[in-house]
Structure 1
Amino acid sequence: MPEQHGTVWVPLQEREVTASEAEWLRALRTAAPNIEVDRMAQVAWVGSLRWQWQVVSPLQLGALSLPRLRVTVLAAQDAIAAAQRLLATLDARMRRGGG
């Protein structure tokens, strides 16, 4: 069972993956260069491929630091959109003084 403490889960729509591992890494790093990709595992799922990303800190925006961020990503486009939404949300919270 994965560690839950300090973890943010971003649910994404499940669909077949056609991008290569290198393309996925480039897409996620382009979307959020301050997120470090630690590991990616390929698993079989209902006859198609599902890519599971484990993204780890440092994700730091000012004083805000999340110990861990795990995102399950099933398409490169979803990875970019999810990362951008998350960063925008964290940035807005930081600007309001919340955490």
Structure 2
Amino acid sequence: MAQRKIPMRKDIVTGEMVPKKELVRVVKNKEGEVSIDPSGKKSGRGAYIHLNVDVAKKAKVDKTFDKTFGISISDDFYDELIAYVDHQVERAKLFGNGK
């Protein structure tokens, strides 16, 4: 059986190429609203960060998504992102990574 290709995406905080399943997508829609995209299918411009709390905190400190999307994003969004990443990391510890 042929081995399936693993989709890779670039983490905008660290600059590393990582398998898509290990990342969380953040999307900016046409109205300029920024949101977390757990499904990875929302329309708009997307950017990825690693499912790692330290990376999410660094994104907040550096205002990474402000620079990436060219808009000002509130700290509330970054706090929501950090909480989401923390939840996903803990969930993966409890339930495994779905393999």
TM-score by length of 2: 0.36
Relative to its length, the structure with more helix (as a share) is 2
Higher relative contact order (CA 8 A, sep 6+): 1
Relative to its length, the structure with more strand (as a share) is 1
